[in-house]
Structure 1
Amino acid sequence: MNLSVRRRTLALAGTVLAGLLAGAVPATAEEAGVAAAPDISVANVKQHLADLQSIATANGGNRAHGRAGYKASIDFVKAKLDAAGFTTTVQTFTYNGTTGYNLIADWPGGDTNQVVMAGAHLDSVTSGPGINDNGSGSAAILETALAVSRAGYQPAKHLRFAWWGAEELGLVGSRYYVNNLPSTERAKISGYLNFDMIGSPNPGYFVYDDDPVIEKTFKDYFAGLGVPTEIETEGDGRSDHASFKNVGIPVGGLFTGASRTKTSAQVQKWGGTTTAFDRCYHSSCDTTANINDTALDRNSDAVAHAIWTLSSGTTPPPGKVFENTTDVSIPDNGAAVTSSVAVTGITGNAPSSLPVGVDIIHTWRGDLVVDLVAPDGTVYNLKPYSSSDSADNVQTTYSVNASSEVANGTWRLRVQDRAAQDTGYINGFKLTFP
């Protein structure tokens, strides 16, 4: 989990995603014609972690970018995937004068115009072996990939797994991959799932809230276990999903907490103590002893559940899209402007998870306050002002609980620039109704 970058930017539990989106919930996976994900062996995941620990121990105690331990980690994962029948590619890049590596693994078959991608950063910080951060995510997606091979899984969509380099230095590897991916290839990625720190010793169960469909996939899994979840906020924009989210690719993922202190309410919910979720975050003690087996087991199964669910079947109908692509200039440090869409033909109220697609081009997005204004004038804040958010552009999909609003009528995206010296415009705005 990168600390310095800010906003750069299981078995199926009685439901499957295709049925949910179609409005009919099948009673079992078999009724839906979808194979249930296999149980992921936590013993196997822990063996991968032990192997990564051994690699770090043999190479100066870490697996950091530019160090021998990182290249040995890449070679270790690649050998496993090659033997399992994956098509692997090692992508090189240069950062701080040293060579870095991303590992991309494609499972043959599936519709290559619809790619479900899962990734985790494989590098550690220089101060330790990085077993929770992020051997845990790396090992979980490795074992899930191997389970795909063992099952001979033939999904409708194409599966791709990735292990990123130099995340700890600013999402360098994943950003390089995305920036060098042609726009036609970016458009083929139907979802990117990120797993960064999923075995914290004092764990919470956090779900990214970026894409409504992916979010629901994970929440449904944990609900089936009776495990409550919370929206992930501590690492938002600080891990590799930001590289994908910033170019409009739907993202989601899981997280068990880093340096923030678990609250008393969270202890009541999940157990543990009112201390850091991971007391060894970015430290030498982030070893194989720094893992909660239960959290690692649950999250590894959730990884497989999401991969199987999101890659099976065909893409469901996108629903009714109401979009305005007329450019609207945003005055520098001036009055609010709006882009409007007229929603018609929808029965009843808006959904509880209304996708609001926002495409704003701006040279300092922290200056912006972005709101959704319902037909009756109710305001839903999508993005607050933040003087420290120095990234450019706002290109993402928000989820709004608009269930109290009548769907039909004129909805407005309202944007105001509240600081001087940077300019931009609304490039597009859309609402998607099921």
Structure 2
Amino acid sequence: MSPNAERRTTPHPPRRSKSAWTRRAGLAATAAGAALGLLTAAPTAAGAATPHRPTTHTSAHTAALAAPDIPVANVKAHLDQLQSIASANNGNRAHGRPGYRASLDYIKGKLDAAGYTTRLQQFTTSGTTGWNLIADWPGGDANQVLMAGAHLDSVSAGPGINDNGSGSAAVLENALAVSRAGLTPKKHLRFGWWGAEELGMRGSQYYVNSLPAAERAKISGYLNFDMVGSPNPGYFVYDDNPELESVFKDFYAKLNIPTEIETEGDGRSDHAPFKNAGIPVGGLFSGADYRKTAAQAQKWGGTAGQPFDRCYHSSCDTSANINDTALDRNSDAIAHAIWTLAAGSTTPPDGTVYENTVDITIPDNGPTVTSPIAVTGRTGNAPAALKVEVDIKHSYRGDLVIDLLAPDGTAYRLKNANSSDSAHDVKETYTVDASSKRANGAWMLRVQDVAAQDTGYIDSWKLTF
């Protein structure tokens, strides 16, 4: 994990009862999205909506085949090889050093033998040549790419077996498990091992920056794994994307293992360049140089007051610096995510309707309120004629200003206030040219009442892609 990047918590009028969430195309919402209010509609009714509070429901993540159990002995065998490589090359596997290239060749050889299409991507940083390794599994929808990756380089001070041999080995063994299973996912699977992460994510930055915009848009999600076998481990989940976050939380919930949101390394690893390019990211982390609290030790075990990894960026980050249980659990969690997300649906057809029917009170002459819809599973940008259907119950519609907010925050004005418009309610369909914006993400309906004495609420609204 790079040390150089920034570290990163009045009642409605009476109305009819109706289903909390519907979606004509039949895609399901994630439980995490419900909890955050970033919801796509579920295929069937989830019960009557409660004013102001999104209805939560079980996660709709399902895989066509159950994910395999990843043998931790296999992952540790890869770590032993990386340790041997470091020992034979002045004790490290750092960028620009022979140990890094030998590590790369070891992983590439395993993938080539397993039927992957591999390529080395060369770049230069700090005056030294580096390489990324990219591996593609045959098949799957090339317009929906699920990618998993880890940085392969160590610091120059040590062999980097937890940081980040652990993530590299776990991703490798998962890639090999895909091959053993002969997996035929709906999404295209791609794996990456990055160079020069310890110098500030240079390898992953180079990869993302080298992708044409059309190719970036095809990546439906990037999963990052940097330090997943810390000796005094925690179980941390990235919270950058609700759907990707929930798939890991679902896995650990079934094991009755509590998780926490990852904050220690936020922005310090290879998910950052993907996130900055607008690609959804997720991942796992078992902790670095922060100290485990008493509360964390109570729920996870281990030693309170000690770092999650006392050998972080040190010569003692050897094959002895691994917690087998954490490595095993996280390797299996990676498999769960890959099998689940890769089995996801193909891009919904044109005409798919996304709807939010949770009531949102509009304060009289007050601040703005927003109602979210999360659009997922699409490729490319939104339509040039995006339909926005709005149903607002209000006693004086002329008081209302209504905007559509794209996922990047761009506002599209749908309706201005008009003091002479004394009609009730807003039940309109607007058309917006949103073709410059990515389709996937959290879209918002923003409403404000700018004059006194009239009240109302957002009843429902829809987006048609």
TM norm. shorter chain > 0.5: yes
Match of 2:155 in 1: 125
Match of 2:327 in 1: 296
Map Cα deviations across residues 144-197 of structure 1 (whole Å, 9 max, x no partner).
Answer: 000000000000000000000000000000000000100000000000000000
Rounded to whole Å, the distance in 2 between the matches of 1:217 and 1:226 is 15
**Match of 1:359, SS?**
coil
Match of 1:359 in 2: 408
> 1:344 deviation in Å?
3.1
Q: Contact 1:123–1:164 at 8 Å: present in 2 too?
A: yes
Instruction: Evaluate the alpha carbon distance shift between residue 27 and residue 117 of structure 1 in structure 2; reply closer, same or farther with a 3 A threshold.
Output: closer
**Match of 1:102, SS?**
strand
TM-score normalised to structure 1 length? 0.73
Rounded to whole Å, the distance in 2 between the matches of 1:306 and 1:18 is 18
Match of 1:188 in 2: 218
Rounded to whole Å, the distance in 2 between the matches of 1:360 and 1:90 is 37
Q: 1:267 aligns with which of 297, 303, 307?
A: 297
Letter in 2 for 1:314: S
Matched, 1:320 2:354: yes
Match of 2:375 in 1: none
**Match of 1:253, SS?**
strand
**Match of 1:227, SS?**
coil
**For 1:73-112, what aligned pairs fall within 5 Å after superposition?**
73-112=103-142
Instruction: Evaluate the alpha carbon distance shift between residue 410 and residue 44 of structure 1 in structure 2; reply closer, same or farther with a 3 A threshold.
Output: same
Map Cα deviations across residues 211-243 of structure 1 (whole Å, 9 max, x no partner).
Answer: 000000000000001100000000000000000
- The structure that has the greater radius of gyration is 2
Map Cα deviations across residues 225-273 of structure 1 (whole Å, 9 max, x no partner).
Answer: 1100000000000000000000100000000000000011101110111
Instruction: Evaluate the alpha carbon distance shift between residue 62 and residue 357 of structure 1 in structure 2; reply closer, same or farther with a 3 A threshold.
Output: farther
Instruction: Evaluate the alpha carbon distance shift between residue 108 and residue 3 of structure 1 in structure 2; reply closer, same or farther with a 3 A threshold.
Output: same
Q: Contact 2:7–2:264 at 8 Å: present in 1 too?
A: no
Instruction: Evaluate the alpha carbon distance shift between residue 208 and residue 259 of structure 1 in structure 2; reply closer, same or farther with a 3 A threshold.
Output: same
Q: Contact 2:368–2:448 at 8 Å: present in 1 too?
A: no
Identity across matched positions, percent: 66
Match of 2:310 in 1: 279
Instruction: Evaluate the alpha carbon distance shift between residue 179 and residue 411 of structure 1 in structure 2; reply closer, same or farther with a 3 A threshold.
Output: farther
Q: Contact 2:115–2:179 at 8 Å: present in 1 too?
A: yes
> 1:58 deviation in Å?
0.3
TM-score normalised to structure 2 length? 0.68
Rounded to whole Å, the distance in 1 between the matches of 2:300 and 2:184 is 36
Rounded to whole Å, the distance in 1 between the matches of 2:346 and 2:79 is 35
Rounded to whole Å, the distance in 1 between the matches of 2:392 and 2:241 is 22
> 1:6 deviation in Å?
1.3
> 1:320 deviation in Å?
2.8
Map Cα deviations across residues 381-401 of structure 1 (whole Å, 9 max, x no partner).
Answer: xxxxxxxxxxxxxx9x9989x
Letter in 2 for 1:278: D
> 1:338 deviation in Å?
9.3
Map Cα deviations across residues 45-85 of structure 1 (whole Å, 9 max, x no partner).
Answer: 00000000000000000000000000000000000000000
Rounded to whole Å, the distance in 1 between the matches of 2:106 and 2:250 is 33
Instruction: Evaluate the alpha carbon distance shift between residue 290 and residue 33 of structure 1 in structure 2; reply closer, same or farther with a 3 A threshold.
Output: closer
Match of 2:447 in 1: 410
Rounded to whole Å, the distance in 2 between the matches of 1:84 and 1:408 is 48
Rounded to whole Å, the distance in 1 between the matches of 2:206 and 2:63 is 38
Match of 1:307 in 2: 338
Match of 2:146 in 1: 116
Match of 1:365 in 2: none
Instruction: Evaluate the alpha carbon distance shift between residue 97 and residue 338 of structure 1 in structure 2; reply closer, same or farther with a 3 A threshold.
Output: farther
**Match of 1:118, SS?**
strand
**For 1:237-276, what aligned pairs fall within 5 Å after superposition?**
237-274=267-304, 275-276=306-307
**For 1:306-385, what aligned pairs fall within 5 Å after superposition?**
306-315=337-346, 320=354, 344-345=390-391, 358-359=407-408
Q: Contact 1:202–1:277 at 8 Å: present in 2 too?
A: yes
Letter in 1 for 2:354: K
Rounded to whole Å, the distance in 2 between the matches of 1:116 and 1:193 is 8
Match of 2:363 in 1: none
- Cα RMSD between the aligned structures? 3.5
Q: Contact 1:18–1:313 at 8 Å: present in 2 too?
A: no
Q: Where in structure 1 are there 5+ consecutive unaligned residues?
A: 9-16, 323-336, 348-355, 362-394, 401-406, 413-430
Q: Where in structure 2 are there 5+ consecutive unaligned residues?
A: 9-25, 31-41, 45-56, 357-366, 372-387, 394-404, 411-437, 450-461
Map Cα deviations across residues 322-371 of structure 1 (whole Å, 9 max, x no partner).
Answer: 9xxxxxxxxxxxxxx99988983599xxxxxxxx965369xxxxxxxxxx
Matched, 1:37 2:74: no
> 1:313 deviation in Å?
3.5
Letter in 1 for 2:326: A
Q: 2:247 aligns with which of 217, 220, 223?
A: 217
Letter in 1 for 2:312: Y
Instruction: Evaluate the alpha carbon distance shift between residue 408 and residue 75 of structure 1 in structure 2; reply closer, same or farther with a 3 A threshold.
Output: closer
**Match of 1:91, SS?**
strand
